[in-house]
Amino acid sequence: MSKPLLIVESPTKVKTLKKYLGNDYNVAATAGHIKDLPQKELGIDIENNFKAEYLNIKGKSKVIQDLKSAAGATDTVYLAPDPDREGEAIAFHAAEILKKKGRKFYRVLIHELTKKGIAEALSNPTELNADKYEAQQTRRTLDRLVGYLISPLLWRRVQGSLSAGRVQSVAVKIICDREREIRAFISEEYWTITADLLAEVPPIFSAALVRHKGRKINIPNEKKASQIIKELESSDFTVDKITIKTLNKNPLPPFITSKLQQDAINRLKFSAKKTMSVAQQLYEGIEIGTGGPEGLITYMRTDSTRIAAEAANEALMLIKDKFGAEYAMDKPRFFKNKNNAQDAHEAIRPTSVFNTPGKVQPYLTQDQFKLYDLIWKRFVASQMSPAVIDQKNVAIAAGEYTFNVGGNTIKFQGFMALYSYADDKPDNDDKSGGKDEEGSSGNGEKSGEKERQVIPELEEGMKLDANKIIPMQHFTKPPPRFSEASLVKELEENGIGRPSTYATILSTIRDKGYVDLVKKYFVPNELGFIVNELLVASFPEILDAAFTAQMENNLDNIESGSRKFLEVLNDFYAPFKVRLSNATENMLNVKGVGIPTDLKCPLCGRQINIKIGKNGHFIACTGYPECSFSSNYTRDEKGNIQIHENIASSDLTPVKDCDKCGKPMVKKEGRYGEFLACTGYPECKNTESLYAIEPVKSTDIHCPIQGCTGMIVSKKSRRGKDFYGCDKYPDCDFASWDKPVNKACHKCSSPYLVEKETKKDGLLLACPVKGCDYKETR
């Protein structure tokens, strides 16, 4: 009797599974999806209830043949792709390919690649989940309809190769909307005042002015600040009230996908994509000296904080042994899921807490260790005792004014001995002033005190000496741009996408050229703004965050069996079809008419529009062809258009006369930089390199070509790069990017050497002949 076949998604898992299953099973991998919609056509029969045409993926023929060979004559196939919607689709497609009379298929959900996890999964096989498969198919159909029906409009109206996406376009809109907020922001001046105070005993400490006559103070300008300081200089400073609270601070739950990505971005400086790639490696199995690969973490695509009681109890055992009984809870701590959490998988945790970071570090790469260390600490900390913190707040009276100083003292570290909240906060530039993840917002006032300052023993009624009163000017700041971490958080909070899609969304919007990552923050470029405006005007629902979130809920409902896929698709397509028809007729043509601006042409006074050509975006006069003015442009920090052209009085500055028609030639800027263009365009289309008019620079080097009597000169290429050529050109075509030197090669008899400069060797002479490695110091 043939052995049963176990099919997984990733080839990496095969070795891990064989370690535990031995020769009892054949194990094979699909290497991802094996079927998909056709690449060059829609592949959806809309009129036939959105029937999808799935084809074997090109290049997967060998994989499919290997699966059939591995199945052989077996009558039992266990389908164990990843336990999510995409995995379910792979399982269904594998079953379709291997379908055979008398052969039975079972779905196996492996949440952790350990001996115990694999045994439990194989002991509890289920049927293929038709609802989960329909949810994946519905998502794929929606994405195909949006992408394949809207994208051609962008090709015709904007430029080729552009694309629209059901989720990616919403993410771009979020980034564009934030950039508009930043551009529209008007900074306002405000002042703060702090006092350096001295009690009966040192040290001096700082307190911040927070109230006037019991109301929160606002100091708008220097005049008001000076007035307040004058009053304070004649006031007595007295300790008015001391408040001490003891707080119990609980740990965060174990990671879900979005929180893992945010934490890895902030703490480890990983990208979301890198985080998921490394997590996949830890899940699929790594050799740690146990005789074969072993999965180190549970499945990494989850929005559930649920954990197995057995894992929690194991953590409590380790905590008692490693930290002491006082650091462990009396019983496991469990966390409540959010309302829309799927709860199909546990939270991300180590498969065994006894695989401590120190124990496995020798077997892991640096990146694997960093991420595993983060996951391990977060999970173990979630089962540790609360931290006990004394929070001290001192109110200091100075006439009608109140100063405030506060500080925290940790009485008992609890979980903070392993995992500190302080490390969990994002970079300073990414803070928006809201509450942090654990819901704490401090004392609710700007205390202004120096970090970690020591406050002397104080008593109510105690007099204080004002050593110095310090005013400081500030300006309000616009909302921050999105980093990868804050964009993931924004998508999660708005219900856009799902844990498995965040990393892909962030990669896609960059790859499509709509946004740039500048100093780790997303900035929409001009193409992103243009495409976003067109899509918002033509498809407002598609780009609405609430609509997209509701569609995600619909997919969840299909998976749970509470909605039918055809109902969801019909509800979506009916209004979408109307929008698509209107857009086909009315979407603005940026290639032709262009986007109107409020600028006037410097040559004729007509309106200037934004257009897109083969070299990118530019502005052009609407009076074309009577007026041929066009220019590249940028935008200032407020979004105002800045024209690049050099305008002299009412005309472009002539550089030379055209060799073909005699009309003036002017500087223009194209894909490769500045060039000369004839003002007689379009009748005369003559262009020249800007550098062709620059004089060549002579050298004292003779042309190395045998028989040539020319001298080497320094020239500029069409793109402005320096090179060296013979002044007898075109009779002699010698050219070199490197400066020639009249010195023969001692190894191959080349008549000349060239100057090279490297970081390692500095300036040297090298032979230009291919295959000759001769070089000498200069």
Q: How many angstroms separate the CA atoms of 503 and 255, rounded? A: 16
Partners of 635 in the β-ladder: 641
The burial of 451, by beta-carbon neighbours within 10 Å (0-12 exposed, 13-18 middle, 19 or more buried), is given as: exposed
Cα distances (Å, whole numbers) of residue 245 to 208, 387, 392, 458 = 20, 14, 7, 16
- For residue 714, the 8-state DSSP code is E
Read off φ and ψ for residue 252, nearest 5 degrees.
Answer: -75, 160
Instruction: Identify the CA nearest to 388 among candidates 331, 457, 326, 477.
Output: 326
- For residue 693, the 8-state DSSP code is G
Q: How many angstroms separate the CA atoms of 755 and 746, rounded? A: 16
Instruction: Identify the CA nearest to 527 among candidates 598, 591, 612.
Output: 612
In sequence order, the 6+-apart residues with CB closer than 8 A to the CB of 432 are 479, 480, 486
DSSP 436-485: -TTS--TTSS---PPTTPPPPP--TT-EEEEEEEEEEEEE--PPPPP-HH
Q: How many CB atoms lie within 10 A of CB 686?
A: 15
Q: How many CB atoms lie within 10 A of CB 156?
A: 14
Q: How many angstroms separate the CA atoms of 298 and 342, rounded? A: 16
Task: Please give the positions annotated as active site.
Answer: 299
One-letter amino acid of 50: F
Dihedral of alpha carbons 178, 180, 182, 188, sign = negative
- For residue 338, the 8-state DSSP code is P
One-letter amino acid of 506: L
Cα distances (Å, whole numbers) of residue 486 to 150, 419, 543 = 28, 21, 19
In sequence order, the 6+-apart residues with CB closer than 8 A to the CB of 203 are 454, 456
Q: Which two tokens stand for residue 20?
A: 């535990």
Cα distances (Å, whole numbers) of residue 642 to 186, 532, 607, 724 = 20, 21, 15, 37
Task: Tell me if 314 sits within 8 A of 353, measured CB to CB.
Answer: yes
Cα distances (Å, whole numbers) of residue 40 to 53, 148, 240, 559 = 12, 9, 76, 29
Q: How many CB atoms lie within 10 A of CB 767?
A: 21
Start-to-end CA distance of the chain, whole Å, equals 77
Cα distances (Å, whole numbers) of residue 368 to 256, 279, 365, 375, 380 = 18, 8, 5, 11, 18
Task: Tell me if 345 sits within 8 A of 299, measured CB to CB.
Answer: yes
In sequence order, the 6+-apart residues with CB closer than 8 A to the CB of 124 are none
Residue 499 CA neighbour count, 13 Å, CB half? 27
Angle, CA of 423, 425 and 430, to the nearest 5° = 140
The burial of 126, by beta-carbon neighbours within 10 Å (0-12 exposed, 13-18 middle, 19 or more buried), is given as: exposed
